[in-house]
Structure 1
Amino acid sequence: MAQPADTARTVIMTVDDDPGVSRAVARDLRRRYGASYRIVRAESGASALDALRELKLRGDLVAVILADYRMPQMNGIEFLEQALDVYPGARRVLLTAYADTNAAIDAINVVDLDHYLLKPWDPPEEKLYPVLDDLLQAWRSSDFRPVPSTKVVGHRWSSRSSDLREFLARNQVPYRWYSADEPEGRRLLAAAGEDGLRLPVVITPDGTPLVEPEAVDLAARVGLATTPTADFYDLVVIGGGPAGLGSAVYGASEGLRTVLVERSATGGQAGQSSRIENYLGFPDGVSGAQLTDRARRQASKFGAEILTAREVTALEVNGAARIVRFSDGSAVAAHSVILATGVSYRQLAAPGCEDLTGCGLYYGSALTEAPSCQDQDVYIVGGANSAGQAAMYLSRGAKSVTLLVRGPSLSASMSHYLIQQIEESPNIRVRSRTVVEAAHGDGHLERLTLRDVDSGQTEQVDAQWVFVFIGAAPLTDWLDGTVLRDERGFILAGPDLSADGRPPEGWELDRPPYHLETNVPGVFVAGDARSESAKRVASAVGEGAMAVMLVHRYLEQS
């Protein structure tokens, strides 16, 4: 008897130009295998190839293809030869008359034919089913794996491909990566009707190809929420890092109708960390991705909405409402807002760095690139905890890791436990008082020019992998004219709003601003975006929770 397939979406295909024969083959196949496999029939080689391409895009599996030899326009051998490019793992059977036996034998060499069946095959219990049972058993026992539902085809040294892969990975969307230069990548591009000139191409779970998709379009197609379900909320949280996730968890769990808006992926800089070892309650450490995933699921459990790939461009005050505007012109309103926009890594200003970003030079840990660093020489620019965590993670597989630090040592910016780990790692080297003077490469990073800060001397080193963690720039320009910020762009709140302790200009309430409240009543700040914040995950989460407490106090007095 037929055994269950590895997946309910596994297909047995039959192709015959004679409608009567086609129906007879499909009937016999369904009688024996219909409970475990999907039977698909086609009446021409061209229509069968179209069906195979659609199945490929959807991620369905094809176990066996049976094709009649004598078909017009495209005979069975020609069809199976092209089908081999779409589903190389499928078992191939040629249906032929006795007079065409020689052609069937020749096809064994042309298309690596697995079997040929003489027509008619009655009774199928003797002549058809035993053959297919053996072929299906061989297919199931082969090292064949289903393709994950989302597929990405791109170039290895492409910043757009790198950004897209990082977006999917950080949003916990399973995907499979294919290089456009490799056979399977070319097959997917052909199935999608693309020639590879525009990349990356994403094939969604329903088989739809997206060419060079924008983040918001991709997010909607892979199941991430991008549109709020209501027009008005108790609380809008802007930013999905530790502070924003903390606010969402505490806001929703305490009964506030809460929506969190994130422009790229939840987790922020902390979400890119390979391992956080000094976070309370995790003595063995926790990766940023794990911490983010747990917090996101926790916020959703309590009822918070989480919107991804939505960029906020303005904050407006309209009476008691606080209006948050998006880049597409739409808006959402709320009684209160928590600004948890976090910070981004500063960009290297050295010549060549901008052109090679995403092509060997990456900002943040770019964990999707880590497997490619196996047995390679890796450079990390920066001397804070994020740089140290990345160095320890990459050192597990890299040939060597070199930390380039502008300052005289790591002690001024990195936690002691990380410094100790780095000192004990034989393949990590620290070069202090060293900066990147230039980056060089044709299409991808090949070399760096390094400069000694004290002597001014420069040298060139071979480098294909550089990860940059230099300083932090707040993402607050869109607040200009509404919310007060310091000279570096960090948001002022509470007692920091004025030097003499008086309420800020324009403040109309009888009370002074609460500790995390900005100059706009009902608008609070938490985490790294706040002026003079601690820049630690634990403090960001704590401020997110405290901000919700102050939101409650504000709403009670409004």
Structure 2
Amino acid sequence: MTEPAPSSLPLIVLSAGSATARSLVAGQLQRRYPADYRIVVAANPANARATLDQAGAEHQQLALLLSDGDEPLFAAARRLFPDSRRGLLIDWGSWSERSTARRVLELMATNHIDSYVVTPRESRDEGFHRTVTELLHEWERAAGALPGGRPDITVAGHDALPRTHEIRRFLSRATVPFESVTLNSAASPNVRLGDGRVLVAPDNTQLATAIGLDTSVPTDELVDLAIVGAGPAGLAAAVYAASEGLNTLVVERDAVGGQAGSSSLIRNYLGFSRGVSGADLSQRAYQQAWTFGARFAHTREVIGMSSERDWFALRVSPEDTVRARSVVLATGVTYRRLSLAGLEPWVGSAVFYGVSAVEAKAQAGRIVHVVGGGNSAGQAALHLARYASSVTIIVRGASLAESMSQYLIDQLTAAGVVIATEAKVVGGGGSNDGLDHLVVRNRQSGADATVRSDALFITIGAAPHTQWLPDEILRDQWGFVLTGNDVLAEGGRRAWPHSRPPAALESSVPGVFAVGDVRRASVKRVANAVGEGSVVVSAVHAFLAERVPAG
């Protein structure tokens, strides 16, 4: 195999004023990474900046910048190489010094760095390398860098076709490396696999099968627990149920991860100091559940359910039936669709519900708008700001402080994201070349303004997936499932004619539980969904213990 030319390798740039620190870091880098990266050591920020400028002009890739704190250098790296990772070098133990701690927090809050990196010791320092390799892995995922430079899959399609975008999003959320080729023809998109096969206009089940995911459901056995939905709540339930010996099946109609799977960065989830993408977190949870023995039916949709004497029958499209002794509903929610005059032709190609990493990258140099005032809108706008030339958040309220975490507001300000308050999108339009403008109304004055826009990302409201459930499962007027005390409070004894009270996460049908966003009154946070998915398994065990094992 021909070795890649050094000039074609991604860059790792080191800039440190201290000769000692520079020598220690360079030594560790040059021992581990020269086969896959070109390592450039600069004695000062000016030399490092010259390297970045040259790399940008020659269309090279910057994977990682390590510096001891030059803010303009970090800013240049972020501007020239949006996917690059940037680390502030600090001495071991210096985090206890107020000046160092303040510097780290300021640079993190202003998006200049992704993490701090402790200067390694003279001997082998695996702690240093763990940080470096995690940053490199994050860069590879963000940049869509292909291992070995060769794509596993090539997606070819016209950008105006929503299905082209859907295929890219599905593969991205499944963490499958792929290459995109834009076709001028409006013919159906096709997918070329590594073995040479070509799938023409494949549906998600064909894609899942092609990348090695199981799409089958067990129709000839009785499972202990069927989990409907593989978002954070469903994945957590799968991990705990399978690890505790339950025969567990998870049925997911789309990609693993649910709504959270499209989040570019979750900063406030326990254990991930630099944050974690929704796709990465979902894949970790999926692998964890799978190694405990949970089975997954990918891209399969449950379309109906009925109660039998000793089990529940789940109808899975198109014509399969799964029998389960208990059921956990973790179907989550999707963003509510807006009825906007003139924008329907671009839904799926320039108007998106939620923001995936692959769609964010496609906005390089463009003017984009985000509708929504919650954390998901803030995360979306922040990720879009890495690539787009202009990002504006449109929010109905007077400020973001009512619905968004302060750390996100601070980062949005630092990233130059424009906040348009007391406003709403009422229309828009474009041409065959795509969306080109929005109509935004001021809610105070009622005046409309036409603004240029190449893409609109909508992250407001939530609609649960519960229309397929039987009437016996009580829901509120919006479709959210009632659980626990709410079943008795609103349905009374007619809804729950049993001697024991319903468990905290149990629906009006014994043995059917609801967790995460689909449950009424749940806190719409990833951590809360994971918590409910974890604790519901004890209630499942208690319910199964009431029943004589069926065979």
TM-score with structure 1 setting the length: 0.69
Q: Is the 8 A contact 1:316 1:324 kept in 2?
A: yes
Structure 1 residues 448-486: Cα deviation after superposition (integer angstroms, max 9, x where no partner): 111111111001111112111011111111114241100
Specify the structure having the higher radius of gyration (Cα): 1
- Return the offset for 1:318: 0.9
- Return the offset for 1:540: 0.4
Q: Is the 8 A contact 2:305 2:470 kept in 1?
A: no
Determine which of 536, 543, 547 is the counterpart of 1:554.
Answer: 543
Please state whether the residue corresponding to 2:425 is helix, strand or coil: strand
Per the alignment, residue 267 of structure 1 pairs with 257
State the alpha-carbon separation in 1 of the partners of residues 167 and 341 from structure 2: 25
- Return the offset for 1:508: 4.5
Per the alignment, residue 304 of structure 1 pairs with 294
Per the alignment, residue 539 of structure 1 pairs with 528
Please state whether the residue corresponding to 2:355 is helix, strand or coil: coil
Aligned counterparts, 1:395-474, within 5 A:
395-425=385-415, 427-443=416-432, 444-474=434-464
Q: Is the 8 A contact 2:327 2:512 kept in 1?
A: yes
Per the alignment, residue 292 of structure 1 pairs with 282
Q: For residue 536 of structure 1, what is the amino acid of its counterpart?
A: R
State the alpha-carbon separation in 2 of the partners of residues 345 and 501 from structure 1: 28
Aligned counterparts, 1:84-483, within 5 A:
147-181=150-184, 198-229=187-218, 231-425=221-415, 427-443=416-432, 444-483=434-473
Structure 1 residues 255-308: Cα deviation after superposition (integer angstroms, max 9, x where no partner): 001111111111111111111111112222111112111101101110111221
Q: Is the 8 A contact 1:205 1:222 kept in 2?
A: no
State the alpha-carbon separation in 2 of the partners of residues 381 and 557 from structure 1: 48
State the alpha-carbon separation in 1 of the partners of residues 492 and 472 from structure 2: 19
State the alpha-carbon separation in 2 of the partners of residues 359 and 372 from structure 1: 11
State the alpha-carbon separation in 2 of the partners of residues 501 and 316 from structure 1: 20
Structure 1 residues 219-245: Cα deviation after superposition (integer angstroms, max 9, x where no partner): 222211100245321111001110000
Q: For residue 365 of structure 1, what is the amino acid of its counterpart?
A: V
Q: For residue 390 of structure 1, what is the amino acid of its counterpart?
A: A
Q: Is the 8 A contact 2:217 2:320 kept in 1?
A: no
Q: For residue 458 of structure 1, what is the amino acid of its counterpart?
A: D
State the alpha-carbon separation in 1 of the partners of residues 395 and 380 from structure 2: 14
- Return the offset for 1:504: 4.7
Please state whether the residue corresponding to 1:499 is helix, strand or coil: helix
State the alpha-carbon separation in 1 of the partners of residues 513 and 390 from structure 2: 44
- Return the offset for 1:439: 2.1
Of stretches 319-328 and 369-378 in structure 1, the one that deviates more from structure 2 is: 369-378
Structure 1 residues 45-103: Cα deviation after superposition (integer angstroms, max 9, x where no partner): xxxxxxxxxxxxxxxxxxxxxxxxxxxxxxxxxxxxxxxxxxxxxxxxxxxxxxxxxxx
Relative to structure 1, the CA distance from residue 490 to residue 162 in structure 2 (aligned partners, 3 Å threshold; closer, same or farther) is same
Q: Is the 8 A contact 1:437 1:450 kept in 2?
A: yes
State the alpha-carbon separation in 2 of the partners of residues 495 and 167 from structure 1: 38
State the alpha-carbon separation in 1 of the partners of residues 387 and 406 from structure 2: 23
- Return the offset for 1:145: 7.0
Determine which of 461, 464, 489 is the counterpart of 1:499.
Answer: 489
- Return the offset for 1:529: 0.4
Determine which of 505, 510, 522 is the counterpart of 2:511.
Answer: 522
Task: Point out where structure 2 has 5 or more consecutive residues left out of the alignment.
Answer: 5-146
State the alpha-carbon separation in 2 of the partners of residues 452 and 339 from structure 1: 40
State the alpha-carbon separation in 2 of the partners of residues 424 and 197 from structure 1: 40
- Return the offset for 1:494: 0.7
State the alpha-carbon separation in 1 of the partners of residues 351 and 521 from structure 2: 30
Please state whether the residue corresponding to 1:402 is helix, strand or coil: strand
State the alpha-carbon separation in 2 of the partners of residues 480 and 535 from structure 1: 25
Please state whether the residue corresponding to 2:435 is helix, strand or coil: coil
- Return the offset for 1:340: 0.3
Q: For residue 158 of structure 1, what is the amino acid of its counterpart?
A: L
Task: Point out where structure 1 has 5 or more consecutive residues left out of the alignment.
Answer: 8-143, 182-195
State the alpha-carbon separation in 1 of the partners of residues 474 and 377 from structure 2: 31
State the alpha-carbon separation in 1 of the partners of residues 313 and 374 from structure 2: 36
Please state whether the residue corresponding to 2:408 is helix, strand or coil: helix
State the alpha-carbon separation in 2 of the partners of residues 237 and 501 from structure 1: 25
Task: State the percentage of identical aligned residues.
Answer: 44
State the alpha-carbon separation in 1 of the partners of residues 302 and 458 from structure 2: 26
State the alpha-carbon separation in 1 of the partners of residues 221 and 206 from structure 2: 21
State the alpha-carbon separation in 2 of the partners of residues 553 and 249 from structure 1: 18
- Return the offset for 1:208: 2.6
Relative to structure 1, the CA distance from residue 244 to residue 145 in structure 2 (aligned partners, 3 Å threshold; closer, same or farther) is closer
Please state whether the residue corresponding to 2:362 is helix, strand or coil: helix
TM-score with structure 2 setting the length: 0.70
Q: For residue 325 of structure 1, what is the amino acid of its counterpart?
A: R
State the alpha-carbon separation in 2 of the partners of residues 231 and 354 from structure 1: 44
Of stretches 268-277 and 243-252 in structure 1, the one that deviates more from structure 2 is: 268-277
State the alpha-carbon separation in 1 of the partners of residues 490 and 206 from structure 2: 49
